[in-house]
């Protein structure tokens, strides 16, 4: 190679080294799944897992379950390192005190029994579960490593919170009948005590 050729090759290498890496999206993972028992309140939390600041190329790509998909309408802007994205159903979005979702997804986006939730085409970004693995108690959520813990939705702005949906068990019907009968007896007794002096 001539001296001129060496200089040109060296210049090309130094120029390419200065160019920033192109935007990407392969380091997001499905980090947390939450659902109530009927699937009306659900959220999906994505997390940039590895400290990359350029995982912004999201537009036109999808989050999938086995029955639904959500397409990101545009790319992200800003540093993505260790950031979160929060997708929530309308039932989730209407709850007081929770971090607002960055994107709204339909109710029952993923199954309450078994499903696979996947970000785009990346196998390491998938969270699959079978019957009994997804908590439905209104408190716990399923994590990427298949552990469960108190739910902790976090959105792009860094706002975090906890969904608190603890249902009150319904009283058995025989208890309701007993309570109703007791209330009637108590009401009749009080009425007789009030009427008795007037009769005397």
List, for the chain, all residue ranges whose pLDDT scores fall below the cut of 50: 1-19, 168, 176, 199-200
Q: pTM value?
A: 0.74
Range of the domain at 63: 28-150
Q: Are 92 and 179 found together in one domain?
A: no
Residue 130 has what pLDDT? 97
Give the model confidence (pLDDT) of 87-103 as tens digits.
Answer: 999 999 999 999 999 99
> How many domains would you assign to the chain?
2
Q: Is residue 181 part of a domain?
A: yes
Q: Are 122 and 193 found together in one domain?
A: no
Angle at CA 22, nearest 5°, toward 73 and 5? 155
Residue 139 has what pLDDT? 97
Q: 181: how many CB neighbours lie within 10 A of its CB? A: 10
Residue 10 has what pLDDT? 39
Mean of all residue pLDDT scores within the chain? 84
Give the model confidence (pLDDT) of 63-86 as tens digits.
Answer: 999 999 999 999 999 999 999 999
């Amino acid at each position: 190679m001539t001296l001129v050729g060496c200089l040109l090759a060296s210049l090309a290498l130094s120029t390419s080294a200065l160019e920033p890496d192109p935007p990407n999206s392969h380091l997001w993972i499905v980090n947390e799944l939450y659902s109530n028992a009927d699937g009306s309140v659900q959220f999906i939390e994505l997390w940039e897992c590895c400290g990359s600041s350029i995982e912004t190329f999201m537009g036109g790509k999808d989050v999938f379950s086995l029955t639904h998909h959500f397409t990101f309408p545009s790319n992200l802007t800003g540093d993505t390192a260790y950031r979160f994205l929060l997708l929530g159903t309308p039932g989730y979005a209407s709850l007081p005190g929770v971090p607002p979702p960055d994107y709204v997804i339909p109710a029952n986006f993923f199954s309450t029994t078994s499903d696979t939730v996947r970000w785009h085409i990346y196998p390491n970004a998938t969270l699959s579960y079978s019957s009994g693995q997804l908590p439905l108690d209104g408190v716990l959520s399923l994590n990427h490593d298949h552990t469960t813990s108190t739910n902790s939705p976090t959105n792009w702005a860094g706002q975090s919170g906890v969904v608190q949906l603890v249902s009150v068990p319904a009283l058995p019907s025989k208890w309701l009948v007993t309570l109703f009968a007791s209330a009637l007896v108590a009401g009749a007794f009080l009425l007789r005590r009030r009427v008795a002096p007037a009769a005397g």
